[in-house]
Structures are given as structure tokens and as C-alpha cells.
Amino acid sequence: MSRRFEKRLWRTALACAWLSFASACDRDSAIAPVPPLVAVVSGNNQEVHDGFRLSSPLAVRITGAGGSPASGIEVAWRVTFGSGEFHSFPNDQPVSAAVAITDADGVARIYFLPTVLGQSVITATAEAVTSAPATFIATDRPRFEISFGPIFDCTPFNDPSLFSLNNSATMVSQVNVPVSIGYYSWLDNSCTARVKTTAVPDGGEPFDTGILHPGETFLFTPRVAGSWEFTDVINGGTGLLIVR
């Protein structure tokens, strides 16, 4: 056998091996393509206060086989824990059927308004997608804001604090739902507040925010039902927390 013929045989064998490998790869790809997928894009773990809509829409992306965006796919949204309303994106109108259609980038969006204190869990699914649903958590918690009276000088004698929650000094929450006490961020940096309880229900824990500066927040989680009375010991405002 000539050397030239041997080289030709080797080239032929290598070519056959490569073709066999490529063919096997093609078969594997055909057998196990990248499956369609629904995934969270943005909007998860948002927090809102006192029954307002989440500031950002819930958004998911649908990708088809190979990972390319899938447009024109109907996405169904459902509350699996808690309660809330869905609003269309971007015109923010209540919808009777919680569905949204993916755009050219494979993204579907919808607004959500919690209607119960605490956490709500929302899932997004698409009929053509067999992957696990995309899951979102939204939290609604009561919030007290400390604002200042008619004389803006941050002195305890001429400028007592006012507590405001939808124009009320009484806040209503539920057992084990965190309550937020915040200090308005637009106040002068020299302003301070300190909120302490003056009366607590049987079995309830007192709270003391310590010194609060503008823009700061204190979280308190009531563990029993009852009423907490509290005051701003620096500026003189008073308020009431009722837990049911």
C-alpha cells in the first residue's frame, strides 16, 4: 500500500468520524431541545403601604425552544396566596381577566394592587410552557409618616409633630404584619423624632424607634391583638395603633 493511499484512507476515516459526531449532535439536539420557559424579569418583592398599587408592573419573559423570545403568547396571572387586583399595563385599568400578551421581546407585564395586609403571592403561567410558573411576592404593610405642623423650625415647643395615615392619627393592622413608622424625607436634616409607646395591650411588646432622621424608617411587628398608644417624645405628636 502506497503512502499516498494511506493518507487518503486516514483523511476519509477522519471525515467519517466527524460526520458521525455531527450527526449524533444533531440527533441529540432534536431529542432534547431547550424547552420553553417563563421567567421573572422585574417587579418581584415590591412593598407598598396602605392599599396602594405596586409602583412597578410585574414582568415575565417567555422564551421558546433555543431561548429565543416568544411574542404574542398569552400569559395568565393568578393570586395563589393573599388577595389583590390586577390592572392592565400600561394604561393601569382594572381587568376582569388577568391576562397579558408578550411583546416582541417576549415580555408580558401587568400591574398589581394588594387588597390585604401582609404578603400576597402571584404566579404567571402560559399554556404552551411546561416549566414552573414565575412567582412574585408583594407586601402591603401599614405605614405611619411623621410630618411637621405649621411652623417649620423643628423645635419641640413651637412645632409639634403630626402623625398622618390617610389623614388619620389611627393606624389599623393585623397580628404578625409589620408596621412601618417613617420620618418624612423632605424635612431638614436637623430635624429628629423619637416614637415610644405609652400604653400596650396585655402580652404586647412596647417599642422605641430611637432617634429617627428624615427618610429613616422603623419596623415593628405586633404579635398580639390590641391597642398601642405612642408619642413622639421629641416633638409631642401622639398616635394609636390598633391590631386585630
- Whether residues 136 and 62 fall in one domain: yes
Examine the pLDDT at 173 and tell me if it is beyond 50: yes
Rounded Cα distance, 12 and 34, in Å: 34
- Whether residues 132 and 150 fall in one domain: no
Confidence category of residue 238, pLDDT binned at 50, 70, 90: confident
Rounded Cα distance, 165 and 132, in Å: 39
Q: Which residues pair with 132 in a beta bridge?
A: none
Examine the pLDDT at 172 and tell me if it is beyond 70: yes
Residue 113 within a domain = yes
Confidence category of residue 135, pLDDT binned at 50, 70, 90: very high
- Whether residues 106 and 168 fall in one domain: no
Residue 1 within a domain = no
Kindly report, residue by residue over 71-89, the tens digit of the pLDDT.
999 999 999 999 999 999 9
pTM exceeds 0.75, yes or no: no
- Whether residues 84 and 174 fall in one domain: no
Find the mean pLDDT for residues 42-63: 91
Confidence category of residue 115, pLDDT binned at 50, 70, 90: confident
- Whether residues 222 and 239 fall in one domain: yes
Final residue of a domain: which of 140, 161, 180? 140
Q: Please choose, from the candidates 137, 193, 189, the residue with its C-alpha nearest in 3D space to the C-alpha of residue 163.
A: 193
- Cell representation of residue 185: 424625607
Residue 229 within a domain = yes
- Whether residues 126 and 185 fall in one domain: no
Structural domain for 80, as ranges: 37-140
Strands (DSSP E) found in the chain = 37-42, 46-49, 58-63, 74-81, 84-87, 99-101, 107-114, 118-126, 134-141, 143-148, 161-164, 170-173, 179-183, 195-199, 217-220, 226-232, 238-243
Confidence category of residue 18, pLDDT binned at 50, 70, 90: very low
Residue 21 within a domain = no
